[in-house]
Amino acid sequence: MPVQATSGSSPRAVLRTLGAALGLAALALHPGRALADIFTYTDENGEIHFTNRPNGDPRFKVYIKGDGGRSPRRKGVVPVAPSDKSLDRFSRYDAWIRQAATLYQIPEELVRAVIKCESDYDPRAVSPVGAQGLMQLMPETALRMQVRDPFDARENIFGGTRYLRVLANLFNGDLDLTIAGYNAGEGAVMRYGGIPPYEETQAYVTRVRTYYARYRTTRDVAVASIEP
């Protein structure tokens, strides 16, 4: 089932600036090519700006290191595995999930599936590469989605759902590409013209789709969330 593309003003504003970022990102990730770092900042109107020449402007922070490769494992990150085993965690964030899904016109079941696969509904989770919170936002993604505290469950849900909206717009509502982009990044999906040939990403798409289907057919979210 495709994720419907939309022309809502907030996601479209993000998408406009994202397009410029993707052009820069494609260059920065080109193998064997030495490039300058890419910098970004978000202004008071919520617009995201990118440049490879910040000219000393302190507002700009590094967005992509121009080293011609994928981001390395992050130094200084202390991973925190999901540890909340209570059944009520599956319904604890219902109101915020519904609000975010409605605001960004993303199926509520898809938001739930991503949360299940990313953090198993534990807002304290941190991955070895630094992804944080319920929807496991990388710091760069949290910045782009204007999330100030990724460990705040409400902010994380709205930021992650907003990113799903951006991806759905970018990939014309294609569900598989939207899911793949959430895991591997939209740049990787665009470079490969489809789901990237990463074992992790391919397995992720299958797992998210599995839970998406379960949430759509099983009314009890706790039952649907238990490993099939």
**Strand blocks (E) in the chain:** 38-42, 48-51, 61-64
Is 186 part of the annotated catalytic residue set? no
Dihedral sign, Cα of residue 145, residue 24, residue 17, residue 169: negative
Dihedral sign, Cα of residue 118, residue 14, residue 108, residue 97: positive
CA angle, 224 then 2 then 196, to 5° = 90
Residues 108, 118, 155, 186: which is the catalytic one? 118
Gap between the Cα atoms of 112 and 126, Å rounded: 18
- The candidate with the shortest Cα–Cα distance to 133, out of 142, 211, 77, 102, is 142
3-state class (DSSP) for residue 198: coil
Q: Which residues are annotated as catalytic?
A: 118
